[in-house]
């Protein structure tokens, strides 16, 4: 059953990502099953960052559903409706954040937001599941692109023992 319209559906994941082949540890330190492939994973180019000891990757994803229907008085006697004119729109907004930390040090913090919408008619229309898959795929692609752009900064922050310098605000 789909969640009520307009209500956010959250999928929060906070893992200490282990080296390949080991099991994941949840944020509370309890052993968890390995992360299934359907969950977001950082790009392969960042395996050194994520597999480092003490590095924690936190991922949060939120989906919001939208629905618009053309008022009945506009479509009731319109013959174009029977020939495929849209009766409304379904939409899904995906918002995701990724934080990469080591202890109290934030190595990287990334966000992405995507909105996908499609018209529906009397004889056709997408499902929310199709729109969710498309939005989820696009938001994860954007996060992956941001992470790949910052890979040298992340590797540098991982190799330095000093905390990163904050820019002067004066």
Sign of CA dihedral 98, 101, 106, 108: negative
Instruction: Supply the pLDDT for residue 67.
Output: 93
pLDDT digits over 64-81, tens only?
999 999 999 888 888 998
pLDDT digits over 96-106, tens only?
998 888 888 88
**Is the pTM here over 0.85, yes or no?**
no
The CATH class that applies to domain 9-159 reads alpha beta
Instruction: Supply the pLDDT for residue 147.
Output: 87
- Taking residues 42-52, what's their average pLDDT? 66
pLDDT digits over 5-33, tens only?
444 444 433 333 333 333 344 343 333 33
CA dihedral 71, 76, 81, 86 (to 10 degrees): 10
Give me the half-sphere count of Cα atoms (radius 13 Å) on the Cβ side of residue 11: 12
- Taking residues 98-115, what's their average pLDDT? 89
């Amino acid at each position: 059953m789909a969640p009520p319209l307009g209500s956010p559906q959250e999928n929060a994941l906070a893992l200490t990502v282990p080296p390949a082949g080991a099991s994941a540890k949840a944020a509370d330190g309890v052993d968890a099953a390995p992360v299934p492939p359907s969950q977001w994973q950082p790009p392969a180019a960042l395996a050194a960052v994520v597999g480092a000891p003490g590095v924690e990757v936190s991922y949060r994803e939120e989906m919001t559903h939208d629905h618009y229907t053309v008022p009945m008085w506009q479509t009731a006697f319109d013959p174009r409706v029977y020939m495929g004119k849209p009766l409304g729109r379904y939409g899904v907004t995906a918002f995701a954040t990724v934080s990469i930390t080591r202890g109290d040090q934030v190595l990287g913090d990334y966000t992405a937001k995507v909105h996908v919408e499609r018209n529906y008619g009397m004889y056709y229309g997408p499902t929310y599941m199709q729109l969710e898959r498309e939005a989820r795929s696009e938001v994860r692609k954007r996060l992956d692109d941001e992470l790949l752009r910052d890979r040298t900064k992340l590797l540098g922050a991982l190799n330095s023992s000093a905390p990163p310098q904050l820019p002067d605000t004066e």
